[in-house]
Chains A and B, each alone.
Chain A
Amino acid sequence: MPSLGANTVAILIALGSFPVSLGLTRFLMYWNSKHGITGIDVHKLNRPKVPEMVGAAVPITLILFAAIYALTGGASSIALLAYSLVVGLAALVGAVDDRLKMRGIFKPLLTLLCGLPLLVLGLAFPGEIYASTLHVPLFGSYHLPVIYPLTILVAVSVTSNTVNMLDPLNGSMAGSISIVAGGLLIGSLLIGTGSMPIFLYASLMFSLLGFLYYNRFPARAFAGNVGQLSIGASVGALAILGKTEIASIVAIFPNIQNSFFFLSRIRRFTEHRELTARPTKLLPDGRLADSEDPRAPLTLVRTLLIGRPATENEIVSTLWMLFLTSASLAVITLLLTGVML
C-alpha cells in the first residue's frame, strides 16, 4: 500500500457519510410519510404502508461527500464532478419514475444518458476519468480507444437497472450493494489504487449502511427507484473511475443472473408491478414460496425458494451470503489483475 496516509484520511472522511445518510433517511421517512409518498410492503400479511423514495438519502450523501472530498483536495475535482453528475442524473431519472410511473423501456434508455458526464468530461480532460486500457486478470491488458468510451454509457445503464431489479425484499439491495462496495474497497486497498476510488467505495458502503438501518427487516423505509438507480449508477461509475471494470462485473453476479432470467422470460423491459405472473407468493403463515407459475420469471429469489418456503429474513440473509461470495471472487479478480500467466 503506497499511500496508507491518504487512504486512511479518505476512509475517515467517508465514515462521516454513515451518520449523514442515517439522519437524512430519518428525515425523508418523516417528510415522505407526511406528504403521502408511501408504498405497500406486499410481503407482509398486514400489508403495512412504508415511506417510499427514502433511498434519495444515499445519492444526496454521496454527492455531498464527493464535494467535501474535492474541497479537501483529496482527488481530482473533474473526476468527482463526473461521479456526482452520474449519481445525480440517475437519481433524477429514478425520482421521475417514482412519481410518474414511466413505462419499463424508458428507464434503460434514460439511464444510458446518465453515463454522459463520464464520457464528455473524459473526452474533454484525457486521463482524468478513464484510460481506455482494460486490465485483464492473468492475461495482461489491451487498449480500446474506440470501444471503451462507448461502453461507459452501457455500463452505467446496465448497473443502474440491474441493481434496480434486485430489491424485492427488505434490505436486499442496500445490504447487497454495501457488501459489493465493501469487497471492492478491500480489493482496491490490497492492490493499492489511488485514494479517490477508495474514498468513493467507502462512502458508498457507509451511506448504504446508514440507509440499511431503516430499510432492514421489518422495513421502515423503501429506497424507491430514486435510490436504486442512483446506487446502481454509482457502482457503474466507480467501475470506470476506479478501473475495477471486470471485478465489478464479478461482484454483481447475483444481479446479472437475476436480470438475465427476468428478461429472458419476459422478453421485454417491464416493471415488476406490470407482471401478471408473480415469481413468488405469500403463504398464510407469512413465509414466501415459489409461485410455481411457469409463466413467471426464474428470479434469484425464486431459485432460493424452489421446494422450500422461507421467511423474508432468511431469504435476505441468503442473498447477502451469495453477494459475499461474489464480492470475494471480485477481490480475487482484482488480486489476479496484477498477475501474468
Chain B
Amino acid sequence: MNRHAVGNELVVFVTQWGLMLVGFGILTKFVAPLNLLNPSLSLGLYFDAAVKALIALVLSVTWLFVWDRQVRLYFHRRGK
C-alpha cells in the first residue's frame, strides 16, 4: 500500500468534509432565512428558490475548486 498517497487522500477527505459542513452551515444560517422576494408575489416563491439555489451552486463550485487545487498540489506535481 502506498501509505503516502493514502495519507494525502485522507487529509483531502477530512478537509473537504470540514469545508462541506461549513458550506451547509452558511446555507442554513445565512442564505435560507433570507427573504429575497415576497412569496405572495406571482412566482415570488420560485424566484426566491432560484436565487438561493444559485448561491448554493456557487458554494458547491468553490468547494470543488478547493478540492481540485488540493489534489493537484498533493498528487499532480509529484507525477510529472
Residues of A within 8 A of B (CB): 136-147, 246, 249-250, 253-254, 257, 260-261, 264, 290, 292, 294, 298, 300, 302-308, 310, 314, 317-318, 321-322, 325-326, 329, 333, 336, 341
Q: Does any Cβ of A come within 8 Å of B10's Cβ?
A: yes
Chain A residues with CB under 8 A of B24: 136-137, 139, 246
Identify which of A292, A303, A305 contacts B9 (C-beta below 8 A).
Answer: A303
Q: Does any Cβ of A come within 8 Å of B49's Cβ?
A: yes
Say yes or no: A307 contacts B49, CB within 8 Å: no
Say yes or no: A322 contacts B68, CB within 8 Å: no
Bound complex: CA A144 to CA B50 (Å): 11
Known: A141-B28, A253-B17, A321-B6. 13 other contacts (CB 8 A): A136-B25, A137-B24, A139-B25, A140-B28, A143-B32, A145-B45, A147-B52, A294-B80, A307-B2, A307-B79, A322-B9, A329-B17, A341-B25
* Distance between A236 CB and nearest chain B CB, rounded to angstroms: 17
Contacts known (A305-B2, A310-B2); A142 close to B49, Cβ less than 8 A: no
Question: B46's closest neighbor in chain A, by CB?
Answer: A146
Chain A residues with CB under 8 A of B52: 147
Of residues 23 through 66 on chain B, the ones whose CB sits less than 8 Å from some CB of chain A are 24-25, 27-29, 32-33, 45-46, 49, 52-53, 56, 64
Identify which of A138, A261, A290 contacts B21 (C-beta below 8 A).
Answer: A138
* Distance between A187 CB and nearest chain B CB, rounded to angstroms: 14
Bound complex: CA A138 to CA B20 (Å): 12
Say yes or no: B29 contacts A298, CB within 8 Å: no
Question: A261's closest neighbor in chain B, by CB?
Answer: B71
Say yes or no: B1 contacts A303, CB within 8 Å: no
* Distance between A186 CB and nearest chain B CB, rounded to angstroms: 17
Say yes or no: B75 contacts A322, CB within 8 Å: no
Say yes or no: A136 contacts B27, CB within 8 Å: yes
Chain B residues with CB under 8 A of A325: 10, 13
* Distance between A91 CB and nearest chain B CB, rounded to angstroms: 29
Identify which of A144, A306, A318, A341 contacts B1 (C-beta below 8 A).
Answer: A318
Contacts known (A264-B68, A310-B2); A322 close to B13, Cβ less than 8 A: yes
Chain A residues with CB under 8 A of B56: 147
Chain A residues with CB under 8 A of B79: 290, 292, 298, 302, 306-307
Say yes or no: B64 contacts A260, CB within 8 Å: yes
Say yes or no: A308 contacts B2, CB within 8 Å: yes
Chain A residues with CB under 8 A of B46: 146
Say yes or no: A306 contacts B13, CB within 8 Å: no
Question: A304's closest neighbor in chain B, by CB?
Answer: B5
Identify which of A141, A142, A298, A318 contacts B2 (C-beta below 8 A).
Answer: A318
Chain A residues with CB under 8 A of B25: 136, 138-139, 341
Say yes or no: B6 contacts A322, CB within 8 Å: yes
Bound complex: CA A330 to CA B2 (Å): 24
Bound complex: CA A144 to CA B23 (Å): 16
Contacts known (A261-B71, A329-B14); A142 close to B1, Cβ less than 8 A: no
Chain A residues with CB under 8 A of B68: 260-261, 264
Identify which of B16, B33, B67, B75 contacts A306 (C-beta below 8 A).
Answer: B75
Interface pairs (22), CB distance under 8 Å: A136-B24, A136-B27, A139-B25, A139-B29, A142-B27, A142-B33, A143-B32, A144-B49, A246-B20, A250-B17, A250-B20, A254-B9, A261-B68, A264-B68, A290-B79, A303-B71, A304-B2, A304-B9, A306-B5, A307-B79, A308-B5, A325-B13
